[in-house]
Amino acid sequence: MEERSIDESLFRDVVYSRNVIEFATVANEFCTFAESVSDYPRKVFLEKLQKMLPLLYLKSSLLPGLIELEDSEDSPEKFVTESDYNFILRKLSSKLGEFDSYPEILEPGMALGDASVEANISENVADIYQDLKDFILSYRIGTIEVMRAALWECRNNFEQYWGQKLVNGLRAVHMLVHGNMNID
């Protein structure tokens, strides 16, 4: 039987580190959960979301900050189309119904005394889903360069964009799960 030579140094790359693998696992679970929103009653969906969002935030915050990219590496391919995004958004919005919107208080550049802006849990979750699904599908390609680029972009988007959406949405989900209203 012929032995295949595997370059074990490749598996020492940051894309195979424990924190990245754990993040990829949680990201995949989050995407699967968002895709199966119709399978859950509203209350159960919100209770599960309340648990997934902090775990996702934790795993995202543990991703390595400095990832070396080759000069030739472009942005990772986008797999989630506008149609895919809108499909997930509609499913989430339909599930949450009248409980979808919440007052957003802390937007970047907004003074504390300014009036609040309305935000939607469904849009926050769909935005996070889009980035994580693109990451997961890029990561599955399995080449170090593609995986590094996907990791770099996902980490950057977490810091600059969807990390705040996650935290804001979690606040609204917490109020629904632990509030005194009947959400079913």
| H or E element that contains 151 | helix 144-157
Does 65 fall in a domain? Answer: yes
Evaluate whether residue 98 is within a structural domain: yes
| Full residue range of the structural domain in which residue 56 is found | 9-178
Is there a domain that residue 183 lies in? Answer: no
In a domain, residue 184? The reply is no
Q: What sign does the dihedral 33-27-154-6 (CA atoms) show?
A: negative
Residue 119 lies in a domain: yes
Q: Supply the pTM of this predicted model.
A: 0.86
Tens-binned pLDDT, residue by residue, of the chain (184 aa): 555 444 454 457 889 999 999 999 999 999 999 999 999 999 999 999 999 999 999 999 999 976 666 655 567 889 999 999 999 999 999 999 999 999 987 655 655 556 678 999 999 999 999 999 999 999 999 889 999 999 999 999 999 999 999 999 999 999 999 998 888 7
Contact (Cβ atoms closer than 8 angstroms) between residue 121 and residue 169: yes
pLDDT at residue number 30: 98
Within a domain: 122: yes
What is the C-alpha R_g of the chain? 18
pLDDT value at residue 5: 46
- Confidence (pLDDT) at 95: 97
| Predicted pLDDT at 13 | 87
> Could you tell me which of 111, 113, 125 has the C-alpha nearest to residue 169?
125
Q: Which two tokens stand for residue 26?
A: 């949680």
Q: Does 127 map to a domain?
A: yes
Interacting residues of 1 by C-beta distance below 8 A, sequence separation 6+: none
Q: What is the token pair recorded at 4?
A: 């295949």
Q: For position 46, which CATH number holds?
A: 1.20.120.1550
Domain count across the chain: 1
Q: In whole angstroms, give the CA distance from residue 160 to residue 76.
A: 17
